[in-house]
Amino acid sequence: MTFRLRKSRTLTTKPVTQQTSLTGRVRFRAWRTSEDISNAYKVQRDRPASTPQNTTLNPVNTTRTESLMTDNTSSTTIPCAHGHGHGGHHHHPGAAPNLAEANKHHYDQHVADFDAYPHILTRARRTALAMREAVPLTKESSSVLEFACGTGAVCKEMLPHVKEIIGIDISPGVVERCNQRFKEEGANEGCYALAADISTDKDVLAGKKFDLVYCASAYHHFASPEEITRLLGAFLKPGGSLLIIDNLQKGDETIAEEHRHYTTRFGFVEEDVRGLYAAAGLEFVSFAQIPSDAGGDNDIFIAKGVKAF
């Protein structure tokens, strides 16, 4: 079975080279990923002739609507181009037990490989920089929760900028490595990771609320992104932000067969994420492409939703 995209889109005809960051104050350039990637993680994009080749997304003036469906029709397949080396594990509350267990088993078995995955460290830095532009953070007061924290590559990048950061993951193996990383970085006692499934472990972090909750490069593994977004929103303080970072779906990219037992889709478009925030009762604020990686990593986006006061 493969994923096929039905496309119905209206894109700006004039390429956008500057985009306003999620704070509305800082601007960045939305570079495109090189099409000439020669390693095993090359992204293959099969674009229809009518699709503009050099259009970049603008969260303000671009409208793009696409619907995902599954059937037996072939479409462009990529070998899970991010290599699952993005610093976050894939935690599946609400998923069928076999999917959640497949993720738990996979990452428990590959803890030692995480830091060697292609692009993991550069993506962690790109992700952390985009989040710091999106949400004001202070070392003196900001409390942060990372969902699907993996071995803590993104947590490490956020540590110097927050008072406390807690990571949650379904895999005890990666959680152990994340806590080791916190220790190596000299983190305070308010920074730690724990193994839990927030859909079934109802008392996990009971009563605790955060200024920022984020999930970096894991949403494409969730069987029910709607449920996850709702659960994560419950951890926010009034006025707090939920940031989603994941692969940007630009065409009919899909995932390789060998990754489908623990991956549900390649990525998302803006309309997908707007719907997730709306269903969770959060206010959609923005959606933007994170500047591309010269090393050939996937194009990724950052989206922001806010809990009302």
C-beta separation of 290 from 300 below 8 A: yes
Integer CA distances (angstroms), 124 to 44, 148, 197, 257, 260, in order: 23, 13, 23, 26, 24
DSSP-H helix ranges across the chain: 97-109, 120-134, 153-158, 172-184, 225-233, 270-279
Q: CB-based burial of residue 1 (10 Å sphere; 0-12 exposed, 13-18 middle, 19+ buried)? A: exposed
pLDDT recorded at residue 256: 80
Whether the predicted model's global pTM rises above the 0.85 cut: no
Nearest to 150 by CA among 115, 178, 181: 178
- CA dihedral over 240, 245, 249, 250, signed as positive or negative: positive
pLDDT tens sequence for the chain (309 residues)? 443 333 333 333 333 333 434 444 333 333 333 333 333 333 333 333 333 333 333 333 333 333 322 333 334 443 343 444 333 444 434 444 566 565 555 555 555 666 777 788 999 999 999 999 999 999 999 999 999 999 999 999 999 999 999 999 999 999 999 999 999 999 999 999 999 998 888 899 989 999 999 999 999 989 899 999 999 999 999 999 999 999 999 998 888 887 777 788 999 999 999 999 999 999 999 999 999 988 889 999 999 999 999
**Is the domain defined by 2-306 classed in CATH 3.40.50.150?**
yes
pLDDT recorded at residue 103: 56
State phi, psi for 168 to the nearest 5 degrees: -125, 140
Show the tokens assigned to 9: 């889109």
State phi, psi for 116 to the nearest 5 degrees: -95, -5
pLDDT recorded at residue 264: 86
C-beta separation of 168 from 234 below 8 A: no
Domain range list for the chain: 2-306
C-beta separation of 301 from 248 below 8 A: yes
Cross-strand pairs, 247:
300
pLDDT recorded at residue 253: 86
In the chain, count H helices and then E strands: 6, 11
